[in-house]
Amino acid sequence: MSQTPFLPFALPEIGEEEIAEVVDTLRSGWVTTGPKARRFEQEFVAFLGGDDSLQAIAVNSATAGLHLALEALGIGPGDEVITTTHTFTATAEVVRYLGADVKLVDIDPATLNIDPAAIEAAITPRTKAIMPVHYAGLAVDMDAIFAIADRHGLKVVEDAAHALPTTYKQQLVGLLRSDAVVFSFYANKTMTTGEGGMLVTRDAQLAARAKVMRLHGINRDAFDRFTAKVPSWYYEIVAPGFKYNLTDIAAALGLHQLKRLKGFQARREQIAARYDEALSDLPLILPPRPDHEGDVHSWHLYVVRLSDDTPVTRDAVIDSLFADGIGVSVHYIPLHLHPYWKERYDLKPEQFPHSQKAYERMLTLPLYTRMTDDDVERVITAVRKALA
């Protein structure tokens, strides 16, 4: 076992500005959803460069945002939603919250993103929506997704948990013509609020419904109720809503993380480029780059795959890296291998050959802004040793 300090797989970068803003929030007495959550929503729209029609709704997780988006679109029992098997379970589980069914499909073996041809083949009369996932921070072929949605009259909700600030054809994810886009601010994401997410939409009705359902189905904003100059105790419950609001403590982090996001992405890009350069001669498939000139990859994850002729197994490589004090992960164990999804839909690995093969050969290397150049070189040295 290595005597050098363990290098974690991921760590957030929290600065003095974030800490001061959180302290200010605690001192203000407004610790739940209030003025800073609202400001965070406004600044998020400004960051995306959206017009007046774009609305951002802060929530306590991307899972909550996906659930709210599908609920607002009327997805329910008897409906089907198509998404990729190669994702975290949250993408699919929100469909089941609503009593609808999930149709899992395979990925493109080059990009590891959802395969548009597989989507087309999976559509039935019950299909109501497509949920593409921008895997690792690389944009999905959204033109192909929109073409399918237009042909079949389907809604599109983008799972953009990995995709801030990813672009598709020079447009930020969040500004495309989907019905809704959901970002994650979980601790290991490209920016963080600890736990948290943002639902972005241009659909005024969807936004209105999501805002009501975000906080118990109350027809008035809590912030407005508690800051009004006249008695404002009266409200009405218009639906059986959820408890999905983002706190001001979390938003305080987000306000400053958002300001630093472009710098964060530049550092991630730099680390990814160094990995590409140093690992290109090894029996590895390195992460794909964007198809379109000038597009931005968020580099949430740096996923490598062992080539067919690699002399060691994926698990042996992971064991070697851990022995050298390097934290790694696997993204993901595909949904078709998990007991719930496998049993509910009678899924078999041969239905998803590209996802299955990728899973068996992939591992994710550390890539985060707190890594020093020496940390990056440590990872490179350990990978080269593991594959020797």
DSSP H helix total and E strand total for the chain: 13, 12
First to last CA, the chain: 18
237: phi then psi, degrees, rounded to nearest 5: -90, 115
Contact 139, 164 (CB under 8 A): no
Residue 188 and residue 269: Cα distance in Å, rounded? 16
Residue 115 and residue 109: Cα distance in Å, rounded? 9
Long-range contacts of 19-22 (CB under 8 A, 24+ apart): 21/252, 21/253, 21/255, 21/256, 22/249, 22/252, 22/253
Tokens standing for residue 10:
């991921």
Cα dist. 170→25, 44, 167 in Å? 36, 18, 5
Question: What does the buried/exposed string (b/e) look like for 142-172 if buried means 16 or more CB atoms within 10 Å of the residue's CB?
Answer: bebbbebbeeeebbbbbbbbbbbbbbbeebb
Cα dist. 316→8, 266, 311, 349, 360 in Å? 19, 32, 10, 22, 12
11: phi then psi, degrees, rounded to nearest 5: -145, 140
Q: Which of 70, 76, 69 is nearest to 55 (CA)?
A: 69
Q: Among this protein's residues, is 348 annotated catalytic?
A: no
Q: Which of 115, 88, 112, 289 is nearest to 184 (CA)?
A: 88
Catalytic residue among 36, 128, 189, 211: 189
108: phi then psi, degrees, rounded to nearest 5: -75, 125
C-beta neighbour count of 279 within 10 angstroms: 18
Active site (catalytic) residues = 189
